Amino acid sequence: MKTVNIITLVLVIIGGINWGLVGLFQFDLVAAIFGGQDALLARAVYVLVGVSAVWQLVPLFGAGHAGEAAAQRHHR
């Protein structure tokens, strides 16, 4: 599970950097590397980044629930 979390986190970071480049310079690095936004490989990367973002919600909410449980134990 840890390996999947690291891979998905890296992909989310890549996606964030790509969106930053799009916003700042109107330059889509993924499209430039893989042959345009409509290229199959570019679309695959976009999908993987999106799925990775959804996957990263799992540890985010898990950490939130763990923090709540720890806070409740400490409060007693």
CB count within 10 Å of CB 1 equals 7
Q: Which two three-digit tokens encode residue 31?
A: 């499209």
Radius of gyration of the chain (CA): 17
Number of domains in the chain: 1
Cβ atoms 9, 49 nearer than 8 A: no
Q: Tens-digit pLDDT profile for the chain (76 aa)?
A: 789 999 999 999 999 999 999 999 999 999 999 999 999 999 999 999 999 999 999 888 888 777 665 655 655 5
pTM (2 d.p.): 0.78
Provide the residue range defining the domain that includes 7. Answer: 2-75
